[in-house]
Structure 1
Amino acid sequence: MLAKYGLADWVSDSTPGFIRRRFVTGEGIAVTEYPVEVRIRLALTELGTTFIKLGQMLSTRADLVGPELAAELAALQADTPPDPPELVRATIQSELGAPPEVLFAWFDDKAVASASVGQVHLARLADGAEVVVKVQHAGIEGKVRSDLSLLATVAQLAETNSKELARYRPADTVAEFSRSLMRELNFHTELNNLLRFSQNFAKDPRIRIPAAFPELSSRRVLTMERLEGYSIAHLERMAADGVDRVAFADLFANTLMQMIFRDGFYHADPHPGNIFVEPGGRLGLLDCGKIGRVDEQTRDDFIAIVAAFLTSDVEALTDQLIELCETPPDLNRSAYRADVAEFVGEFGESLQGGLDLGAAFEAMFAIIRKHHLIVPPRVNMLLLVIVQIEGTARQLDPNFDLTGTLQAYGADLLRKRFSPGQLQKEIVRTLRDWRHLLRTLPRDTSTLLERIQRGELQIRVQQHGLQGPLNRLTYGILVAALLLGSSLLWALAAPPAPWGISLFGVLGTALGLALGAHLLYLIWRA
């Protein structure tokens, strides 16, 4: 597959044209005519569900793959044909214990949509309620598990054999992706998300979350209420219905901000197709399978970064980003600070005239990638969702500015952060930690002294990066020994020695020279 899409090293510009022309897309276009980002997207699409999902996940990691590839991977869509009706009915009966005609007053055998994981059918309950039934594709879980096992093996090999790739910890990225995808394959996850969102916004009549039906749901089947409205992508229909797009953009943005900063549990895929205009101008949310969580520490870190940027405090922003990310041991702090200062100077001037958050985050990710910092997945998802919120809101209101909303929520969080109640909680937590330390310190100290007296104290020193040089040193000693021994055999004309030349001496010397050249190559590559 990599060879077909020109992603293998041997399919390059130096490869004869008659070979490269054999690799074409479904439209008959030579794949090497496309940019590498497009070829990666095409290869992932052809590899199927798991790799499409991997590409979609990587599209959120501009800090790892760069903005160009991230933008291309964001266009990945799974064109998966629906399962035949008899297979769908068998899945429902297996999961829910009865066929569709018994569970529903009406069930449409024809799927209205089919994605990589499942397909959607319309149905009606006995009480007349209109619902949608999401059914997982048959056999998809086994295929996904097999693909994930392959990805884990490849990621581990890449991390072991490439210092450059090891910086980005591909094994951890694949592990994170595996956990996310396996959660997505379990429809109980989306069911619980729907129930939690409904509870969080139960007192807000402006927000409509589809009601879930646990008794008609399982690990592979999900039944939920069918919303009556339409996607906000239909701007003409919103205008015809008299919907105030500016007010709706504010409602949408504030709803997502409440999820993030109030609840710490937010919808992580807020694109226009998942945002509905409901009767009465209410806001409906669809596809709650992908969510993000924000703990108290992450909220505090994010607000500190926003505050440092808004006040153009270069030192504070530099320190906050280093504290937030995982930094390499060889970080050039002065060069990093200079890049942050340039970033603040470039985008700080835009604060009064409307800041483009997407461009600002893209520039920030470029700095992070340049200096090999690693953004924690939870923070990366939060930043991406905030950019999506601004982009979606600007489709409704081109003049929408999320900066003011962020400032308002940041100020509110700072007030709560230093409120008497919160300070009291932190004091109690700190006192609890000190109490635990003082209670265990004498025992730990006594145990340490006893081990020292018995001579059982062990100090382990682990040196990283020495295995390669040690291997090359051993290799060099063996090559030198081979050359020395072969030279002696040659000089002494040790038999067998046709024409007075030691055969083993010649062969050993030739082998030693070849191995010596290989050793020099290894040293040069390292």
Structure 2
Amino acid sequence: MIGKHIRQIKRYKEIVSILVKYGFGYIVRDVGLFHLLSLPKQLISDFSGNGNEQSSIGERIRSMFEELGPTFIKLGQLLSLRTDILPEQIADAMRDLQDHVTPIDSQTIRMIILNELGAPVEELFADFDEKCIAAASIAEAHRALLKSGEEVAVKIRRPNIENIIEKDIEILLDLASLVEKRYEWARTYQISAIVEEFAQAIRNELDYRAEARATEKLHDFFKDNEHVIIPGVYRNFSTHRILTLTYIHGYKYDRLIRDKVETIDNKIICERLVRSFLDQALICGVFHGDPHPGNLFFFPENKIGYIDFGQVGYLNEAMKRDFGDLIIGLMKGNTEMLYHTISSMTILPDDLNERQFKADLDLLREKYYQLPFKDVHIGRVIHDVFGVTKKHRISIPKNYTLLGKALITLEGLITQIDHDISILELAEPYGQRLFFKRLNPNEITRRILMSGYDVVDNGIKIPALLRKTLTRLYHGKTRVEMKLPQLEFLLAKVDRAANRISFSIMLLALSIILASIIIGESFGTRSLLSHVPILGIAVTLFLFMVMIVLFSIFRSGRF
């Protein structure tokens, strides 16, 4: 049944049709959305889950998301990070998602700039290139020259994209709820929570003020580092729909791979690339969430430039410390440290088999214990850690999965430039620094004071909470919540059985009536009705009613 908040039935039907097209009709059937398909599609569709066998499931999901449009492309990009819940094959396919968009026409661009910045293009810029330098499903970028002579990149959000995405999010939330009611795996991995996380992430990406803040924070963090370039933000030329940044020139990654650039030392550039990223994550606490080749520039004298901070991750002090402890626990072969660190980093399920979990951590520890850093690949470490958490249905927060994906991306980049660089070797000093920071007397004192404050604060609240609870019990206002995730599925089964019984009873009743008419015609006396073709009328009515009942039951998808 479609949720009461779903108002875009046309879009809902489109999504359901595309699910069936790519071989996921069994989900449409199981969650009760069969009736949204037109009758011809109901008749010809395959609901077995065996369709499109020529393509892998990852390829089918990727193609399906691309056809469904920008919201689903962004969802796929988020899911590509979730190797803690997705099979590697599907996660890899999601990384290859492509935007198929046409550039915004120049008249619309000019109108958006006028509405957002309050002046026409000619008054704001000395020059504005109407041909975009990059186009994606949510925005496109144009090169421009300010009146002051500064070269800038103007990022403009596509018209009406916010409404399109909000409608799709509403549908996704409803679908996630239906899937969780039907499938155990969906409840285990909290699909609704993943969609909520995605909704928050894409809303942040739509608002360029959030991207501006992240860019400014990193720009200020690296302002005294002559080897790292972060674009500046032009606030007077930026709104929630437009973001104007310093235009960055430099060598692209493929030039570094293809040609030997005399002014760039590949070993030094790799080390600085890794250190600049670790500085972002483990010192600044804000890091680039997608450092792929298109978002990096390289300059003479081994300088690095980052662009496009639409996807960023955040690590607070506790998260930085936990990440450092995870690496130290693996390298030192300390299973208890690994267990407590993962417990702190993640959300453990109530039914966790603690003994088996520790046994799996022992195997993981043995795999990396006493191995030289140069022989340990960060991508393999992250993959193995996520493998253990997935096995035990442990949920990993988004910022850790984003950090893991970014590190894997970086390792892939530097491996192609210099095979001898080890991310873990470069990360070791950061882990040690975070570890010794915890032993600093000032830090210990601060944590003791904060813990004491929490104890006192919670102690003060206990009498009030106890009084409130007892009052509600006394007045009989205590509410007990019960979750019956299979209830709707059971009701659907009952509905199918009822439809079949109704159909059988109707057939029986009509058969009795028809038999009575035939007997009456054969042995009865002649009357006025003798001249009326009762048998033909009865058969016609019988067939007509059967068709109506069959059509109604078939349309419900519950027969």
Q: TM-score range by the shorter chain?
A: 0.7 to 0.9
Q: Does 1:426 pair with 2:447?
A: yes
1:7 aligned partner? 24
Q: Does 1:295 pair with 2:316?
A: yes
* 1:216 pairs with one of 226, 232, 237: 237
Q: Which moved more, 1:319-328 or 1:63-72?
A: 319-328
Q: CA deviation at 1:465?
A: 5.4
1:515 aligned partner? none
1:253 aligned partner? 274
2:5 aligned partner? none
Q: CA deviation at 1:10?
A: 9.4
Q: CA deviation at 1:461?
A: 5.8
Give CA deviations for 1:98-143 in whole Å, capped at 9, x if unaligned: 2212110011111122111111111111122211111111221111
Give CA deviations for 1:126-173 in whole Å, capped at 9, x if unaligned: 122211111111221111111111111101111122222111111111
Q: CA deviation at 1:230?
A: 2.0
Pairwise mapping of residues 100-249 of structure 1 onto structure 2 (< 5 A)?
A: 100-236=121-257, 239-249=260-270
Q: CA deviation at 1:79?
A: 2.2
**1:227 alignment partner, SS class:** coil
Identity of aligned residues (%): 28
TM-score for both structures, normalised by structure 2: 0.76
Give CA deviations for 1:371-406 in whole Å, capped at 9, x if unaligned: 211111122222222222322232332211011122
- The letter of the residue matching 2:129 is D
**1:111 alignment partner, SS class:** coil
Q: Does 1:413 pair with 2:434?
A: yes
2:38 aligned partner? none
1:282 aligned partner? 303
Kept in 1: contact 2:227–2:303 (CA 8 A) = yes
**Structure 2 Cα separation of the partners of residues 288 and 186 of structure 1:** 12
Residues 1:111 and 1:309: Cα distance change in structure 2 (over 3 Å): same
Kept in 1: contact 2:154–2:244 (CA 8 A) = yes
Residues 1:426 and 1:337: Cα distance change in structure 2 (over 3 Å): closer
Q: CA deviation at 1:195?
A: 1.3
Pairwise mapping of residues 79-94 of structure 1 onto structure 2 (< 5 A)?
A: 79-94=100-115
Kept in 2: contact 1:228–1:279 (CA 8 A) = no
Kept in 2: contact 1:229–1:277 (CA 8 A) = yes
Residues 1:42 and 1:449: Cα distance change in structure 2 (over 3 Å): closer
**2:282 alignment partner, SS class:** helix
1:509 aligned partner? none
2:504 aligned partner? none
Give CA deviations for 1:317-358 in whole Å, capped at 9, x if unaligned: 234323432223322223222222222223436445521121
Residues 1:65 and 1:438: Cα distance change in structure 2 (over 3 Å): closer
**Structure 2 Cα separation of the partners of residues 411 and 363 of structure 1:** 22
* 1:49 pairs with one of 70, 78, 81: 70
Kept in 1: contact 2:152–2:246 (CA 8 A) = yes
**2:140 alignment partner, SS class:** strand
Q: CA deviation at 1:233?
A: 2.9
**Structure 2 Cα separation of the partners of residues 444 and 147 of structure 1:** 41
* 1:401 pairs with one of 395, 417, 422: 422
Residues 1:367 and 1:101: Cα distance change in structure 2 (over 3 Å): same
Kept in 1: contact 2:181–2:485 (CA 8 A) = no
1:524 aligned partner? none
**2:147 alignment partner, SS class:** coil
Residues 1:267 and 1:342: Cα distance change in structure 2 (over 3 Å): same
Q: Does 1:341 pair with 2:362?
A: yes
RMSD of aligned residue pairs (Cα, Å): 3.2
**Structure 1 Cα separation of the partners of residues 480 and 20 of structure 2:** 44
Q: Does 1:314 pair with 2:331?
A: no
Structure having greater relative contact order (Cα 8 Å, sep ≥ 6): 2
Q: CA deviation at 1:180?
A: 0.7
Q: CA deviation at 1:5?
A: 1.7
**Structure 1 Cα separation of the partners of residues 153 and 123 of structure 2:** 16
Q: Does 1:331 pair with 2:352?
A: yes
Q: CA deviation at 1:365?
A: 1.7
**Structure 1 Cα separation of the partners of residues 218 and 373 of structure 2:** 35
**Structure 2 Cα separation of the partners of residues 82 and 91 of structure 1:** 14
**Structure 1 Cα separation of the partners of residues 258 and 467 of structure 2:** 76
**Structure 1 Cα separation of the partners of residues 53 and 423 of structure 2:** 41
Kept in 2: contact 1:120–1:134 (CA 8 A) = yes
Kept in 1: contact 2:331–2:370 (CA 8 A) = no
- Give the number of equivalent residue pairs: 463
**Structure 1 Cα separation of the partners of residues 262 and 195 of structure 2:** 46
**2:410 alignment partner, SS class:** helix
Q: Which moved more, 1:417-426 or 1:227-236?
A: 227-236
TM-score for both structures, normalised by structure 1: 0.80
Structure 2: runs of 5+ lacking an equivalent: 1-17, 29-40, 46-50, 502-515, 517-559
**1:34 alignment partner, SS class:** coil
Give CA deviations for 1:418-473 in whole Å, capped at 9, x if unaligned: 11211121122123223334545566667778889xx458776656559859x89x
Q: Does 1:33 pair with 2:54?
A: yes
2:535 aligned partner? none
Kept in 2: contact 1:66–1:366 (CA 8 A) = no
Residues 1:439 and 1:318: Cα distance change in structure 2 (over 3 Å): closer
Kept in 2: contact 1:133–1:221 (CA 8 A) = yes
1:359 aligned partner? 380
**Structure 1 Cα separation of the partners of residues 53 and 226 of structure 2:** 54
Residues 1:240 and 1:352: Cα distance change in structure 2 (over 3 Å): closer
**Structure 2 Cα separation of the partners of residues 62 and 437 of structure 1:** 38
Kept in 2: contact 1:61–1:380 (CA 8 A) = yes
Q: CA deviation at 1:217?
A: 1.2
- The letter of the residue matching 2:312 is I
Q: CA deviation at 1:240?
A: 2.5
Q: CA deviation at 1:364?
A: 2.1
Q: Does 1:63 pair with 2:84?
A: yes
Q: CA deviation at 1:7?
A: 2.6
Kept in 1: contact 2:182–2:485 (CA 8 A) = no
**Structure 2 Cα separation of the partners of residues 449 and 102 of structure 1:** 68
